[in-house]
Structure formats: C-alpha cells, structure tokens
Structure 1
Amino acid sequence: MTPQAVMIFAAGLGTRMGALTRTRPKALIEVAGRPLIDHALALVREARIPRVVVNTHAHADQLAAHLALTAPDVLLSHEPVLLETGGGLRHALPLLGPGPVFTLNADMVWTGPNPLTALAEAWRGPEANGGALLSLVPREAATGHAGPGDFFLPLRRRGDASTAPYVYAGAQIIDPAALAGFPAEAFSMNPVWDAL
C-alpha cells in the first residue's frame, strides 16, 4: 500500500547559505520565484499524499506563518533542539500516523518526473523493499552538488573513498520501524540506511 503521509525536512539551519538564512529559514529562500517549501509542497500535492508534516526549528515562526497562509492543512513538528533527519522523523511519528512514510528534503528542487510518484509506483512494502526505498540520481545530473556520490548500484554505500556514481535525491519511502535501533534523540538517516 502506498504511504499516506509525508515528512518534509525543513528544520535545518542553512549555515552553508550564509547571509540568506541569517534572518529566515532555509525553506523560505526563493528559487525560480517561489520559496523552496512551496516547490516541495507542489510535489506532495501532485502525488496526492493526504497527510503532510513539516518540521521546524530556525525562524520557525516565519515558516509557520507562511504555511498558515499557503497550506493550512500542513501539520508542524517543532524541534526546540535540532534532531537531524532520523531524530526529526521519529519526533514527528505521532503526527504522521502508522506505517511507512515518504520523506522529502525541502532544500532541493527537482526537474523531470515527480520523485514521490516514482517512489510510490516502485514501492512494494517494507519487506520487499528492505525497509526503505530511496530516490537516487546520477551524480552528474545533480546540479549544484559538488561532493562525492552516496551510493553504488546494486545498492550499497560509498565507503570512505568515494567514486559512487549516485547521489541521494532527497526523497524516500521508509518504514519507521527502521528507527527502532537508534536510541539517541538526534541522529541522521545515514546510519539507518547503513543498517538497512
């Protein structure tokens, strides 16, 4: 069954963006005339995902005010202390409901097919998909990505010295049961993927 909820990660500080995020959240930076969060929400609406949760932290009041005007059905999961992606997802689970969920990074803009729709079409369930299904793109297709790749195919992590040809594209379906082995309050999705 296709997940019925999506977690949009929007709590990051955006420190690499310097002056752009000193007085506003990264998710409200405009790209192509629209805030990043609006690009993410457009993908969610197109994919017809009924439950939407957005996490907040830095300049949370601004993001909350924007969403109250543009997407009043969105639920907010505020993080007084940054929890990173894994901890943020676990913190939001009461709002997301049971079962596997989509996650989407708010600080990316996609071209081409909707990654959420593509994931939904490929999803066969937690057992068949090994607990998660990640959207990957070839490193050369990831505009603005200057770092190493993240994954090889068949799916395996890059290791220490990377020539990995695929980059995580900021969208996935994951079974929250995969978070159970991580007792820390704040943790990244990276060790979760490694464990899977």
Structure 2
Amino acid sequence: MKHVTKWIVSGIGLLGLTLFATMTASAIEKPEFEQLVKDGKMEVRKYAKIHIVSTSMEQEGQRNSAFRKLANYIGKGNDKQQKIKMTAPVIVDHSHKKDKADGAKVTMSFVVPKKVVEAGIPEPTDPDVKLSVIEGGKYAVTSFKSSNSEKARQEAITELRAWIKEKGYKEKGAPSFAFYNPPWIPQALRTNEVWIEID
C-alpha cells in the first residue's frame, strides 16, 4: 500500500510540474508569427521584425554570465530605470562566430515586449548590452529536448537542415536556438527550438 501511495504522490507531483511548466511557458509574451507549413516536428514560420536586447559571449559555457547581464537590463539596468517583463524565448545566435570586428562568437538575446517597443525602448547602461532587431522573414523551425546537451543541439540542426534541403528551401543564415523555459524546469519538460532563416 505504501508503494501505491508513493506512486500516486509521485504521479501527482509530476502532473503538477508538467502543468506548471506549461502555464509558465504559455503565460510569457512571445513574438507573434504566422505558421506557413507544419510537417510533424518541422515548421515554416513567418515572423515580423523582433526587437531584442543582446550581449555576446565567447562560448556556450558562458550562458549564465550573459543571462545575468540581460536580466540586469530588464531589472532596471537601463537609462529609464524601468522594470521590463521577462519574455520568451531566450535566443542564442551563433551567426557572429566569424565576426572579427568585435570578437563576438555567440550572442544571447531577450525579446523586448511589444508595449515597451511602442513606448520607446530604454537604452542599456551596461556597455556590453546592446539593442538590435531580428529582421522579419521566414524561418524553418524544429523542437528538441535537452538544451544543455551539445549533441542534442547539433542533432536538431542536422535534422532541420536535412528537411530544408528535402523541401527545396534555401538557408539564409546560421542556426539560432530558442529556449522557452526558466532553468528550474526539468530538461524533459522544456521547450527548445532551432531556427534557420530561409528564402
């Protein structure tokens, strides 16, 4: 009987955690898009311009430091001392790997909320934090688990690129990763995506 009770409690706990993870992901503002194609895990989405606040890091292992800088910006670390709501996804962009001008190899970005864009985006007070935009366009997208696994990330890229080639699309840029959940959500319950811009 004790084993049965323990199993029920564990099941309820997992269900509650799943519901919490789902509610957390769905409650946060995300960029709007039009879904053009849906093929199993694969999608083509059309995004409008996305305003972002970004900071660079030399490698993936510096994600915590980069996240803290961006969290400081939305926590009043800006010229208006304005507290800004957290959004999703956190975008990690590898397209700057060969940018020798500033030495940046990887860029982490938060999406600026729509209301903040409309009212005027505050300037960062940290010189390592910059405002920029992701231009609107069409993106091939797929989801994957284990955001902390380099193997999982690379397998997702390989799978998406194979699908892009199969469908006759043409890549326009390097892959970006989109992470939708806070770090306390277990890996198995997280929503992670790869985005590749296409023609």
- TM-score normalised by L of structure 2: 0.25
Bigger radius of gyration: 2
Normalized per residue, the structure richer in strand is 2
